[in-house]
Structure formats: structure tokens, C-alpha cells
Amino acid sequence: MARTLISNALIFDGTGAAPVKGGVLVEGNVIAAVGEVEAGGVDQVFDAGGRFVMPGMVEGHAHLSFENVTATEDLITPTPEAQAFTAARGARALIEAGFTSAYGASEAKLGLGVAVREEVNAGRLPGPRIRAGGLEISVTGAMGDEGRLHNPRIGPSTIVDGPEDMRRAVRLQCREGIDNIKLDVSGDPFYPGTPGHTTPMSFEEVDMAVRTAHAYGRRVNAHTRSIEGSKHCVRAGVDAIFHVEYSDEELLDMLEEARDRIFVVPTVGLFHQIMAGEAAPFGLPAEVGGYMNIPELLENSCKTHTELRKRGVRHLIGGDYGFAWSPQGTQGRDIEFFIDYYGYDPASALVCATANGGLAMMGDGSLGTLQPGKLADLIVVDVNPLDDLRVLQGPDKIRLVVKDGQLCKNALAEVGTSMLVEVMQ
């Protein structure tokens, strides 16, 4: 079994504890030791040159097949063959930026996440660990339903009506290899007929989806912005909920009570980017964002997720990247947003990006921290992110990436440190 040492590092283990100096010893695909580690008996050594070592990050709301999207046409009209390459590029962008895991939300076509997952697992394609999402499941007249009686256009979702339709749709996705079923429970500002505070999907439909998916051992995620929609999800046993802007005291209490089984992914980046003018060159200026009610959604997001942070609810970073103004691989921006909008300190925000994400991916605590016995997913970063979080907002400062004990990226030589030293036995 190969033994690899990453030496001369400042190590953040993902638990929130202060960084320590030393090394990380990897044996096979697991962490064998952290801290003071002897170099003897190892097969290879990577000199971190005093750089920061931390667990690989987790994108908590991944759309691998979203690339330069500005409208739903960008998801609907391309061929499956073309979008397979898009999803492959998305996977590569994530691993290059230090994301060793992707917790799937949904994709532009049903099987894209599955296809890329299988290629990555087989070693034929660079990419993170993937829990594959499929097509979103919505209901008639809601988010994702873009047809009209005179124009039965197929949108980027599977449309169901009633629990039996839902059962069939979930079973089909499970048959096709989907890991994470996604439901569109509430409305959305991009669909004026069903704004964010509305709840088109019934509790009975959500409950059927959860019971069916869990019977197959799969997870259920939900797009939910409304109070009622989020309550549906908690009561039904949804595994992860995305957005969750609107809340009341009852919902906050419900989420606190469910905090050991549920994950919450705020996906604040999209709103920030619109209101900061970053989407303006692509036809979505802040003024239009105002008409879409995004300032109110952002205000409620701050209130809700600040309170959930205080109550110990597990947040994940990421989500809704892949638009023209938010390229794949820049998801690390959310760590800074968690500090600015929700009151996290830098170390706790990094826990959301690492340990919390590892729990969402694996569920058994085997991923997301640099501790003996844990799976060896780690990255080496040029600068201490606790001092400057911008170093995690793209691939440039990510010098080395290890996933499952395997080297996925090594750019240490570009900054004058030794790439690899063979240690003579």
C-alpha cells in the first residue's frame, strides 16, 4: 500500500480547530497521521513549502452541466451529446479549483450527472466525487413548466401531478442511476407566475418522493424558498433543502430540531451577483433584479440563515454556479459570502465547505476532515484562506489536489518548490 507524505505544511483539519504545522501522511486512500510525521518508510514526499493544507471542498448544490447559462434555452436546446462535454468540463473545473466532491442538485438532461460520475469513477475523466443529480421534478404551472396549451414546449424539468405521478418519476430516476432526486417545491423569482413565496407542490407529492427515493437508498433535495414549502420538506424527511429564504419561528424550530439529519444550502451567490451588477453584461442588471424581488429575498436570506447558523444547522456552500457570470470553479466565493451575509467567522465557514459537505456526501463521517482513518481528500493552497479567502475562489492558488489518495493536480513546481521526491527505502 502506497504511503505518501505532504510535509512542511500549515494544516487546517476541517473541524474548526486552529491550524497546526507539520505533515499529513496518506496510506492508500486514507489519512494515516497528521502533525508531527516521520518521513521514513514513505514512498513519496510532497513539500508544501509552508503552504496551507486543508480538506478538499464540497460543492453542495452542483449543476455540472451548467456552462455560460443565461436562459433556460441554454439547458433545453443543446443536444445530449454536446452537453455531455459541458458536464465533463464542469467536473474538471471543480477538481482544478479544489472541489473534490460535488453533491448533485440537477442537470440539463437526466443522465448527464450519471455519465460523468461513471467516467470519473473509472479514472477516464478528471473530476470530483459525484453524487449525481437528474432532472428536476416539478408540477404543472410551476418552476420548470414552460409549456403552454398553444406551445407545448418541454422545459428543464419532469412535470408530475399527484403522488402516483411522483412515484413513477422518482422510480424512473432511480432506475437510471440518479443518486440525488431534486424537487421544485416552491416558486422562484425567475418564474413570475409562481414567485418565491408560493408553494405549488403539495405535501403529499413531496412525501411520496421521499418515501420512494429512500426505499431505493437515494437522497432527496428540494428547491424551496417559501415557508410552507420548507415545512413540507422538513416534515416529509427531505435530506437537503436549497435556498430557504422565507421563514417563521415554527420553521426555524423545525430546522433546529432536524439539524442532525438535514443539510441547508443557502445559494446566496446568485442573488449577490445580480445585485452587485455582475450579471448586467449578460442582460440581467440590478434594476431587473429589483423587479424580480431579489432584494427582499436576499434580505430574508440574511435573516433566516444567520439565525440557522446560531442554532447549529449544517450549512453547505455552493449552488447555482454555471451561469455566464458565475463560472464553474468559482464556488469558493460562497465562503466569503457566508461571512459577509450570515456572520460566520472564517474557520466556521471553511467547516461548511469541508466537514459539512463530507457528511452530506458520505453520511458516515468518513469524508471532509484531515484526521486519521478519514478518506484522503485534501488540497494545498498558496495562501492561508483564514487570512484571505479569495485564494479559494478559483484554481490559480490551488497548488495540489488529492482525491481518495490519488494525485489529481500538482502545480507546486510552478512556484519553485519540489514537486516529488522519491524517498529511498
Residue (of 99, 103, 123) closest to 113 by Cα position: 103
Taking the C-alpha atoms of residue 18 and residue 12, their distance in angstroms, rounded to an integer, is 7
The CATH architecture annotation of domain 57-362 reads Alpha-Beta Barrel (3.20)
Q: The C-alpha cell of 231 is what?
A: 415545512
Q: How does pLDDT run across 142-167, given as a tens digit for each residue? A: 999 999 999 988 889 999 999 999 99
pLDDT confidence tier of residue 413, bands split at 50, 70 and 90 = low
Average pLDDT of the chain? 95
Q: CA nearest 337: which of 398, 385, 267?
A: 267
Q: Are 209 and 233 in contact (CB under 8 A)?
A: no
Strand duo 20-27 + 3-11: pairing: antiparallel
What are the CA-CA distances from residue 105 to residues 15, 29, 133, 145 (Å)? 25, 27, 5, 18
Using one digit for the tens of pLDDT, what is the confidence trace for 10-20?
Answer: 999 999 999 99
C-alpha cell, 207:
412525501
pLDDT for the residue numbered 400 = 97
Separation CA 382–CA 363 (nearest Å): 30
pTM across the whole model: 0.95
Contact partners, residue 82, CB within 8 Å, separation at least 6: none
* pLDDT tens track for 166-199: 999 999 999 999 999 999 999 999 999 999 999 9
The CATH homologous superfamily to which domain 3-56+368-422 belongs is: Urease, subunit C, domain 1 (2.30.40.10)
pLDDT digits (tens, 9 = 90+) for 232-250: 999 999 999 999 999 999 9
Helix axis angle, 249-257 relative to 227-236, nearest 10°? 30
Rounded CA separation 186/241 (Å): 11
Convert the pLDDT of each residue in 257-305 to its tens digit: 999 999 999 999 999 999 999 999 999 999 999 999 999 999 999 999 9
Helix (H, G, I), strand (E, B) or coil at 394: coil
Model confidence over 86-137: pLDDT tens digits? 999 999 999 999 999 999 999 999 999 999 999 999 999 999 999 999 999 9
Which residues are within 8 A (CB) of 386 and not within 5 positions of it... i.e. 6 or more apart?
12, 19, 346, 347, 350
Residue ranges, CATH 2.30.40.10, the chain: 3-56+368-422
Give the pLDDT score at 382. 95
Kindly report the number of other CB atoms within 10 A of residue 43's CB atom: 14
Task: Report strand pairing: 263-265 vs 30-35.
Answer: unpaired
Residue 419 pLDDT > 90, yes or no?
A: no
Q: What is the mean pLDDT of residues 30-41?
A: 89
pLDDT of residue 40: 78
Half-sphere exposure (Cβ direction) of 3: Cα atoms closer than 13 Å: 14
Highest mean pLDDT among 37-41, 372-376, 418-422: 372-376
Asked whether residue 338 carries a pLDDT value surpassing 60, the answer given is yes
Q: What is the DSSP letter of 286?
A: H
Q: Give the rounded distance of the alpha carbon of 231 from its chain centre.
A: 22
Task: Out of 263-267, 360-364, 405-409, 417-421, pick the least confident.
Answer: 417-421
For residue 422, pLDDT beyond 50: no
Lowest mean pLDDT among 29-33, 38-42, 189-193: 38-42
pLDDT at position 412 is 79
Give the per-residue pLDDT at 319. 85
SS3 per-residue string spanning 175-237 = HCCCCEEEEECCCCCCCCCCCCCCCCCCHHHHHHHHHHHHHCCCEEEEEECCHHHHHHHHHHC
CB 320 within 8 A of CB 143: no
Tell me the average pLDDT across 33-51: 90
Classify residue 85 by its DSSP letter. Answer: H
Task: Look at residue 39 in the predicted model and tell me its pLDDT.
Answer: 73
Chain region(s) in the chain for CATH 3.20.20.140: 57-362
Q: Is the pLDDT of residue 420 over 70?
A: no
> How far apart (Å, rounded) are the C-alpha atoms in residues 391 and 382?
8
So what's the pLDDT on residue 425?
30
